[in-house]
Structure 1
């Protein structure tokens, strides 16, 4: 290998790609979090409306394999990253206009909102998939865990910063101020992304392999090839199950704190902040540990994935016990541990995903990332919905809040145990088509 193929992207290039991820997170926050609150509180719309729109944007991300394949065939990821960011920004601004319009003309506003969240889903799919494919093809194996941690931490930072700035600028609220703030976030994200990827891609023209990239087949053939590979198929199942478990508590943790532990809205929000703090620490630990011990079995990414899934299962079992114990249970510590373990497995899984994206045949990184991104999107959409509906059904059937939450947390814990087993199977040392998995 040449020195370039051995070195791959440096840390500055990884941080630049992390800026793209942060920009995606900033605009997604605007569309899925800020507008959610505005629709329900300021415009008194039914909570099911923003929830349905968010679920729809996840459904649209089933197109991720198509976007990944398109970037494979184009041989350049940058146009797809920037094109996706433009679609994402346009969709977010359309969503703002749709929110204001729904108050005066619900039908027209709803149609515009559906179109807007369709663009948002397409933009996230095109930009996010192409960015990850570029990262996967340009990062050295020993840097993949740290690269995954860096980009995901920057995404969380983008969400936090944009939420704080937008929240401060929105008061006192008015539709005009909402439009100005949203436009500022969208334009800033586009500018940051354009500067981040400028002249970046030519540094790694053929990815990590010095062999020229061959011809890219049509989408059906490329998808069929990948789904016929044992490693890719197993990893797709692992991503779906683990992310399903990961997302099931998203919409029920704060209601759980209020109904079972009597926490105020402010206290439950602080509890969610503690969980996110744990996620960040877990990401940092997995990023540093996964890079420091890369290739030294058993302390590799498989170790962090299994440890994170197993720890998440134990933390959820603790929440299930706390649901019956009630006040007096160390809820804050329990939720912090859950976030910590979630962060461990999430970053390690992304690092493994980047490693597997370059395994097998070349010129398929985009489709691989698209397939796994689609599995993640489906799991996120189903997980949040299943958790909320499950609690509602269990509360009505059992008539007790504690036992209802206990059942859902126990199901999540079982899913994480299954995911830990799938992780060992999905990332084991395999045949020639999975020869890079050993470095994962």
Structure 2
């Protein structure tokens, strides 16, 4: 009998994080650059790129099937590479379709729709199998830190690609748009390929044979029949719905209620993202080094949800109460509450991903990918619905209540209630067994 492979070192975790960096680099062009070109240069309604982005989320409901496919094959790397290849092709095709809309609308829209579908499938297939690979290879105590590293490296893909592509696109032309998109996609795919080379250990053939004995519907039914898996699915959906619902309403709230300028509300988003990063880093540092309760991802997930609920209620109260400039200038109290919202969002998000890694392996290796796919589908659908429902709820509340402040306060309070329910579900989910305290002496020098 062969010995079990050694857990991934920090270097290997960083390499797998590069795959997320590559994924983020392509996706950011779809959600920002192409969105702007369609609305500004092509003068299309904002609903057009919005519908295309929603389409890329909707197709991710098929994540369980892709996870099941990786269970059958016995290896995750081919699914990650295949997903990244489809994502890269979708990125180029979306840019070409956007350009084509100006001269041949029917062909352009058809190509754009197919390309956004390819992007959604690529993100789902690659992202699901990447998380499975991490969850099977990372020691339990390192899961929170691994989730933080991977998430931050995905954000790094956004941060590096957006300004670089923006610089290369000036002066703007259709040819430049396709060339830049093609270049980003090619580089991202090459980076992902290099990062994955030789990382995944060979899976025992017995595990693959065990997965092959049962059809997809049966395996999916078995996963859904598990109380912990079902509860965690509902938790992911509710928490991510609340997380994404405030994305499109926070800046309009600041502008309407506090008379903040567009520049000021953009800075507000920066404050929130800074809080998210701080929360993630804190969880990573504490869970790696702490013992006992402080090392429990269940505790951090629950606390992050409750803290997010409290911050949303505080933001709702800001509109009706006096403004205390805790961070200086008008809207200071609002900025403080938004920073806290970002912090607790970061705490719950990275803790939930770490918990997901631990729970994915419960019940047998043959259902690992399917289980992760179910949770990924819940997350994708919640993200797709959250922004729309948040904005639509504000419009409905304004019509019903006839005033701006109560309308926004009602929606923020509803989001807080979702977080409270999610916290209750998170607390009932058993925490994975804790591993012995790891040796961190080789963190800087480790190469996996």
Please indicate the TM-score interval, normalised by the length of the shorter structure: over 0.9
1:2 CA displacement: 8.6
**TM-score, normalised with respect to structure 1:** 0.93
| Contact 1:58/1:121 (8 A) holds in 2 | yes
Q: Provide the C-alpha distance between the structure 2 equivalents of 1:184 and 1:260, rounded to a whole number of angstroms.
A: 43
Instruction: Report the counterpart of residue 160 of structure 1 in structure 2.
Output: 159
Instruction: Report the counterpart of residue 313 of structure 1 in structure 2.
Output: 309
Instruction: Report the counterpart of residue 23 of structure 2 in structure 1.
Output: 24
Instruction: Report the counterpart of residue 198 of structure 1 in structure 2.
Output: 197
Matched, 1:64 2:63: yes
1:131 CA displacement: 0.6
| Contact 1:290/1:304 (8 A) holds in 2 | no
Can you give the 5+ residue segments of structure 2 that lack an aligned partner in the other structure?
324-329, 436-448
Q: Provide the C-alpha distance between the structure 2 equivalents of 1:14 and 1:328, rounded to a whole number of angstroms.
A: 40
Q: Provide the C-alpha distance between the structure 1 equivalents of 2:105 and 2:408, rounded to a whole number of angstroms.
A: 35
Matched, 1:223 2:220: yes
| Contact 2:140/2:433 (8 A) holds in 1 | no
1:107 CA displacement: 2.7
1:106 CA displacement: 2.8
Q: Secondary structure at the match of 1:9?
A: coil
| Contact 1:322/1:329 (8 A) holds in 2 | no
CA deviations 1:103-128 (Å, max 9, x no partner) are 33333222221111110110001100
Q: 2:269 is matched with which residue: 267, 272, 287?
A: 272
1:350 CA displacement: 0.2
Q: Secondary structure at the match of 2:286?
A: helix
**TM-score, normalised with respect to structure 2:** 0.91
Instruction: Report the counterpart of residue 85 of structure 2 in structure 1.
Output: 86
Instruction: Note the aligned Cα RMSD (angstroms).
Output: 1.9
Q: 2:410 is matched with which residue: 403, 407, 410?
A: 407
1:199 CA displacement: 1.0
**Cα pair distance change 1:223/1:439, threshold 3 Å:** farther
Q: 2:377 is matched with which residue: 349, 374, 377?
A: 374
Q: Secondary structure at the match of 1:270?
A: helix
**Cα pair distance change 1:157/1:69, threshold 3 Å:** same
* 365-374 or 251-260, which deviates more: 251-260
Q: Provide the C-alpha distance between the structure 1 equivalents of 2:2 and 2:305, rounded to a whole number of angstroms.
A: 37
Q: Provide the C-alpha distance between the structure 2 equivalents of 1:118 and 1:69, rounded to a whole number of angstroms.
A: 20
**Cα pair distance change 1:2/1:319, threshold 3 Å:** farther
CA deviations 1:78-109 (Å, max 9, x no partner) are 11101100111111111111112223333322
Q: Provide the C-alpha distance between the structure 2 equivalents of 1:328 and 1:35, rounded to a whole number of angstroms.
A: 33
1:212 CA displacement: 5.3
Q: Provide the C-alpha distance between the structure 2 equivalents of 1:266 and 1:375, rounded to a whole number of angstroms.
A: 34
Q: 2:359 is matched with which residue: 356, 361, 386?
A: 356
CA deviations 1:262-297 (Å, max 9, x no partner) are 122221111111111111111111112122236x13
* 21-30 or 389-398, which deviates more: 389-398
Q: 1:428 is matched with which residue: 415, 418, 430?
A: 430
CA deviations 1:184-204 (Å, max 9, x no partner) are 2111110100000011112x6
Q: Secondary structure at the match of 1:385?
A: helix
1:56 CA displacement: 0.9
Q: Secondary structure at the match of 2:319?
A: helix
Q: Provide the C-alpha distance between the structure 2 equivalents of 1:87 and 1:15, rounded to a whole number of angstroms.
A: 23
Following superposition, which runs of at least 4 residues in structure 1 exceed 4 angstroms of deviation?
1-5, 211-214, 326-329
1:65 CA displacement: 0.6
Matched, 1:257 2:254: yes
**Cα pair distance change 1:328/1:120, threshold 3 Å:** closer
Q: Provide the C-alpha distance between the structure 2 equivalents of 1:104 and 1:80, rounded to a whole number of angstroms.
A: 36
Q: Provide the C-alpha distance between the structure 2 equivalents of 1:410 and 1:111, rounded to a whole number of angstroms.
A: 40
Q: Provide the C-alpha distance between the structure 2 equivalents of 1:225 and 1:341, rounded to a whole number of angstroms.
A: 33
Q: Provide the C-alpha distance between the structure 2 equivalents of 1:338 and 1:104, rounded to a whole number of angstroms.
A: 45
Instruction: Report the counterpart of residue 50 of structure 1 in structure 2.
Output: 49
Residues matched between the structures, number: 426
| Contact 1:254/1:268 (8 A) holds in 2 | yes
| Contact 1:136/1:365 (8 A) holds in 2 | no
Instruction: Report the counterpart of residue 323 of structure 1 in structure 2.
Output: 319
CA deviations 1:128-148 (Å, max 9, x no partner) are 011111111111111111111
Q: Secondary structure at the match of 2:185?
A: helix
**Cα pair distance change 1:74/1:118, threshold 3 Å:** same
| Contact 1:293/1:300 (8 A) holds in 2 | no
**Cα pair distance change 1:334/1:120, threshold 3 Å:** same
